Amino acid sequence: MASIGNITAKGRSGRQYQFELYGLDTTFKQVGGVYVFLRGSDPVYVGHTGDLSERFDGHHKAAAIRAKGADRIGVLVEGSEQRRLAIESDLLGGYQWPCNG
């Protein structure tokens, strides 16, 4: 699982979150985290999961994410479910996410 870079996303609160970028075909370890699908640097979808190794198989928004041209995924590893939910909520308020909602 080799990173192809990183990106910083700013939430509604003003807090900044650092995401490691990966190709869409990356296989992840079994860890919790917040993830963002991107088209270049444009936000497409934000979500969270307790297990990054399984989250993207049959994702409920996969077709919409592909249709918006997502070409990479950013991952912020976070073990706490409460913290993942707070980060996701903050990011949802900080950007227009065309595939959320």
Residue 32 within a domain? yes
pLDDT of 10 > 90? The answer is yes
Please report the pLDDT score of residue 59 as a whole number: 84
Task: Indicate whether 100 belongs to any domain.
Answer: no
Residue recorded with tokens 């993942």? 84
Q: How high does pLDDT run on average in the chain?
A: 93
Question: Which CATH number does the domain housing residue 47 bear?
Answer: 3.40.1440.10
d(CA 13, CA 18): 15
Report pLDDT digits (tens) over 28-67.
Answer: 999 999 999 999 999 999 999 999 998 676 788 999 999 9
Please give the pLDDT value at position 35. Answer: 97
Question: Does any domain span residue 86?
Answer: yes
| Count of domains forming the chain | 1
Record the tokens describing residue 4, joined without a space.
């192809």
Q: Lay out the sheet containing 5-10: strands in order across.
A: 5-10, 16-22, 72-77, 33-39, 42-49
Measured over the CA atoms of residue 50, residue 54, residue 60 and residue 65, the dihedral's sign is positive
Candidates 100, 101, 47; CA nearest to 73 is: 47
Residue 42 belongs to a domain? yes
Task: Tell me the residue range of the domain where 35 lies.
Answer: 5-94
Q: Where are the alpha helices (DSSP H) in 2-74?
A: 62-67
